[in-house]
């Protein structure tokens, strides 16, 4: 059975989650996010509950990419802190009142921090840009269509840009992977 999906305004996030959790037979399952770049300039946060009827309930809210903030649910849902910390690091969403400590990635500004948020679609996967891709190995497979590694934008959008050009617009970076232009 498909989950019931309910859109929630960010200002009603805590109230809706509290009501969903208070429903008998309801239990917190997971919280995560999705980058909607290419469809909208926003991030979608998804909170899923298991329900007594077996259908499941998903609460979804949308946040602007530039100032993605939600109040924490740690006082409402046991176990949600880990999910909020992970989502914060990987998508750059701030959970006000939540645990700000890094979970998976070194603290921002410290050695080893990659900069940015790796699950955002405008995040450049530099390791893939420098690692040989199977389609670039030559040989018998060379006649097949060549593909760029997923997550690596066109060099014109990412590579050596003039210093005064600033960072690429996220929509310039979006068309990654797929067939290489000849």
80-114: pLDDT as tens digits: 999 999 999 999 999 999 999 988 888 877 787 77
Q: How many helices (H) and strands (E) does the chain have?
A: 5, 8
The predicted structure's pLDDT at residue 70: 97
| Mean pLDDT to the nearest integer, 159-172 | 66
Between strands 69-71 and 94-96, the pairing is parallel
The predicted structure's pLDDT at residue 112: 75
Hey, which of 82-91, 126-135, 168-177 has the most confident mean pLDDT?
82-91
The answer on pLDDT for 32 being more than 90 is yes
| Mean pLDDT to the nearest integer, 114-138 | 72
The answer on pLDDT for 177 being more than 70 is no
The answer on pLDDT for 132 being more than 60 is yes
The CATH superfamily holding the domain 4-96 is NADH:ubiquinone oxidoreductase Nqo5 subunit (3.30.460.80)
110: exposed, middle or buried (C-beta count within 10 Å: 0-12, 13-18, 19+)? Answer: exposed
Distance CA(114)–CA(122), nearest Å, equals 14
> pLDDT band for position 46 (50/70/90)?
very high
Asked whether the beta carbons of 135 and 156 are under 8 A apart, the reply is no
Distance CA(26)–CA(66), nearest Å, equals 33
Task: For the chain, give every domain's residue range.
Answer: 4-96, 126-179
Higher-confidence residue of 20 and 160: namely 20
């Amino acid at each position: 059975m498909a989950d019931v999906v309910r859109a929630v305004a960010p200002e009603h996030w805590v109230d809706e989650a509290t009501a969903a959790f208070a429903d008998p037979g309801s239990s917190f399952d997971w919280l995560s996010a999705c980058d909607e770049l290419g469809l909208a300039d926003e991030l979608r946060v998804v909170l899923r509950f298991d329900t007594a009827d077996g259908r499941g309930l998903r609460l979804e809210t949308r946040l602007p990419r530039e100032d993605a903030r939600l109040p924490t649910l740690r006082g409402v849902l046991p176990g949600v802190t880990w999910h909020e910390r992970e989502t914060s690091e990987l998508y750059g969403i701030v959970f006000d009142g939540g645990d700000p400590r890094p979970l998976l990635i070194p603290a921002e500004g410290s050695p080893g921090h990659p900069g940015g948020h790796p699950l955002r679609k405008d995040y450049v996967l530099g390791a893939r840009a420098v690692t040989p891709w199977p389609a670039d190995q030559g040989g018998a497979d060379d006649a097949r269509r060549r593909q760029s590694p997923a997550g690596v934008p066109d060099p014109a959008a990412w590579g050596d840009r003039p210093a005064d050009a600033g960072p690429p617009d996220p929509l310039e970076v979006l068309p990654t992977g797929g067939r290489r232009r000849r």
